[in-house]
Amino acid sequence: MVLTWRAVALTALGVVPVLLTGSTGTVLLWAVVVAALVALDAGLAASPREVSVERTVPRAVRLTEQTRSTLLLRNESRRRFVGLVRDAWQPSAGAVSNRHVLDLPRGEQRRVVTTLVPTRRGDRRADKVTLRSLGPLGIAGRQASVVVPGVLRVLPEFASRRHLPSRLARLRELDGQAAVQIRGEGTEFDSLREYVIGDDVRSIDWRASARGQEMVVRTWRPERDRRVLIVLDTARTSAARIGDQPRLDASIEAGLLLGALASRAGDRVEMVAYDRQLRARVAGAAGPRLLPALADSMAPLEPSLVETDWPGLVGLVRERLSQKSLVVLLSTLEPAAIETGLLPVVEQLTAHHTVVLASVADPAVAALRAGRSTAAEVFDAAAAERTELERAAATMVLGRRGVDVVSALPDELAPRLADTYLSLKAAGRL
C-alpha cells in the first residue's frame, strides 16, 4: 500500500482544527476515519501485478544520440488501472522523463515511451519497471516493481568522422592522380611518363627511353590489400583521465578513423584489444561491415587495472600476421611504461612490420608548462617540463628502434594518426 499527498492533506485537514480545540477523542476518531478511507481506496485500486509489461529498445545507438525505450502495458485485471509507471534505467543511460501517467481500462493496452540520451558508451541496462495503481479517491494505492530486461549498447561517438572526407580526398589524390616516383616496399608499377626537370633519376626507365625519342620515368602507386593491425591497449594507463574522458576513449576515436580510412584504401584491417588477455578482436570484416564491427567491439571495453603483457602482445601479433604489415599501437608514451614494457620487445615487431605508436597527450601538462605567476606555478611548470623532456626522450629511443611515434591532444590524435598512415602510404612503406 502507498499513500499520496492527498492522504496527508486529508489527515491534516481534520487533525489541525481538532488540535486547536484540544479534544483528543475527536483526533482518534478522525484518524480512524482516514485509515478506513485509505484502506478502502487501496482495496479498490487495480492490482499492478495484473498488468503485463513488454519492453522494446533498439540494439545500439551512438553516444550522445537520442533513442527510445518503449513499454507495452496490457491491463489483465478486472478493474481500470489509473496511476503512474516508472521506467528505470542506469543513470548513464540518460533516461529523460521516465515517469508516465497511465489510464488503462481493463483488457486494453497502451505504449509509453522513455527518451534515452546516453552519457557513456558500453552496455546500458534497464532497471525495474514500477507500477503504482491509485484508488478512486486518489489518496492511496498499490505498487509493484517488475523486472523487464533491456540492454542498450552505446557505441563510441566517432566524432572524428568529420575528418574522414578530407583524408579520403587525399587518399584519392594519392591513389589516382599523383603516383609516387620512387619505388618503396608498398608500391606497384603504375605507368610511364615523360621525364621533367626535378624527377628523381632513379625512376628513369632506360630501356623504354632507348626505344623512343624522349626520356621516360616509371611511376608507382601504393599497393592495395595490405594488412593493418590496430592494437588497443586496455591496461591501467588507458584509465588515466585526459580532460573529461579516459585515455581509452581518445584511442578508440583514433582507431575508428584509421580503420575507416584504411578500409577505403583497400587494405585489410584487423583490431585487437589487449592488456594481459584478449578483450576484443575484429577480423575478416571488410567494406561497409568493418566500421560497425569495430564500433560494436570497442563499445563495451573498459580499462583493466593491470600492466600490459607486452611479450604476450608480441606473440599475438605474430600469430595474426604472417607478412609485413602496419601495426598501430594505441597506447601510452609514459616513459616508465615504455622502458619496462615496450622497449625490450619492440624490435621483435619492427624487424618484420612497420610500427606506429599513437599516444594521447594531456592538455593539462601544456597548461602547467605555461604557468609562471607564482612560486607554486613555477614548480608545477618545472615538473611539467621534465615530463615533456622524458616523453621526448622516449620518442627518440623508439624512433631509433624503428617506431614512428604520434603524440597529440585528444581531439587531434585521430587526424594526426590518419595523416601518418597516408604519409606511410605515399612513401611506399606499407
pTM of the model: 0.80
Residue ending a domain, among 119, 138, 155, is 155
Query: Could you read off the pLDDT of 155-176 as tens digits, one per residue?
Result: 999 999 999 999 999 888 876 5
Q: Comparing 15-29, 96-110, 262-276, 344-358, which segment has the lowest mean pLDDT? A: 15-29
If we measure between CA atoms, which residue out of 306, 405, 300 comes closest to residue 356? 405
Q: Which of 175, 202, 221 is the last residue of a domain?
A: 221
Cβ count near 32 (within 10 Å): 10
**CA gap 72, 147 in Å, rounded:** 14
Instruction: Determine which of 74-83, 87-96, 370-379, 406-415 has the lowest per-residue pLDDT on average.
Output: 370-379
Rounded-to-integer distance, Cα 99 and Cα 89, Å: 12
Q: Is the pLDDT of residue 21 over 60?
A: no
* Residue 167, in any domain of the structure: no
Q: Where is pLDDT greater, at 152 or 369?
A: 152
Q: Is residue 177 part of a domain?
A: no
What pLDDT, on the 0 to 100 scale, is given for residue 157? 93
- For residues 384-388, give the mean pLDDT: 83
**For residue 178, pLDDT beyond 80:** no
pLDDT above 70: residue 15: no
Together in a domain, 242 and 278? yes
Structural domains of the chain, count: 4
Residue 168 lies in a domain: no
- Say yes or no: 343 and 415 in one domain: yes
Q: Are residues 136 and 268 in the same domain?
A: no
pLDDT of residue 141: 79
Helix ranges (H only) for 219-342 are 247-264, 290-298, 310-320, 335-337
Of 194 and 308, the structure prediction assigns the larger pLDDT to 308
Q: Same domain, yes or no, for 261 and 367? A: yes
Pick the residue with more confidence: 225 or 376?
A: 376
What average pLDDT does the segment 250-255 reach? Answer: 96
Task: Tell whether 176 is covered by a domain.
Answer: no
Phi, psi (5° rounding) for residue 232? -100, 115
Q: Are residues 293 and 369 in the same domain?
A: yes
Is residue 276 located within the same domain as residue 318? yes
Residue 95 within any structural domain of the chain: yes
In this structure, the number of other CB atoms found within 10 A of the CB of residue 246 comes to 17
Higher pLDDT pick, 188 / 383? 383
Q: What is the CATH number of the domain that holds 74?
A: 2.60.40.10
Grid cell digits, residue 275: 592488456
Q: Which residue has the higher pLDDT, 110 or 383?
A: 110
Task: Report the range out of 97-111, 202-216, 249-263 with the highest average pLDDT.
Answer: 249-263
C-alpha cell at 83: 496511476
CATH of the domain at 360: 3.40.50.410
Structural domain contains residue 36: yes
Reported as type and span, the H/E element at residue 229 is: strand 227-233
Judge if 216 and 229 occupy the same domain: no
pLDDT in tens, 75-130: 998 889 988 999 999 999 999 889 999 999 989 999 999 999 999 999 999 999 99
- Both 381 and 283 in one domain: the answer is yes
CA angle 97, 101, 105 (to 5 degrees): 145
pLDDT exceeds cutoff 90 at 356? yes
Confidence category of residue 337, pLDDT binned at 50, 70, 90: confident
pLDDT for 7 equals 56
C-alpha 144/C-alpha 133 separation (Å) is 9
- The better pLDDT of the pair 38, 239 is held by 239
**Is 150 domain-assigned?**
yes
Whether residues 240 and 352 share a domain: the answer is yes
As a whole number of angstroms, the distance between CA 281 and CA 286 comes to: 14
Which pLDDT does position 419 carry in this prediction? Answer: 95
Same domain flag for 115 and 254 = no
Q: Same domain for 265 and 367?
A: yes
Indicate whether 127 and 16 sit together in one domain.
no
Q: For cell 611479450, name the residue.
A: 311
Given a cut of 70, is residue 336 above it in pLDDT? yes
Q: What is the pLDDT of residues 179-207, one digit of tens each?
A: 444 444 445 545 667 777 766 666 777 77
Among 192, 221, 250, residue at a domain's last position: 221
pLDDT value of position 90: 93
The domain of 102 spans 51-155
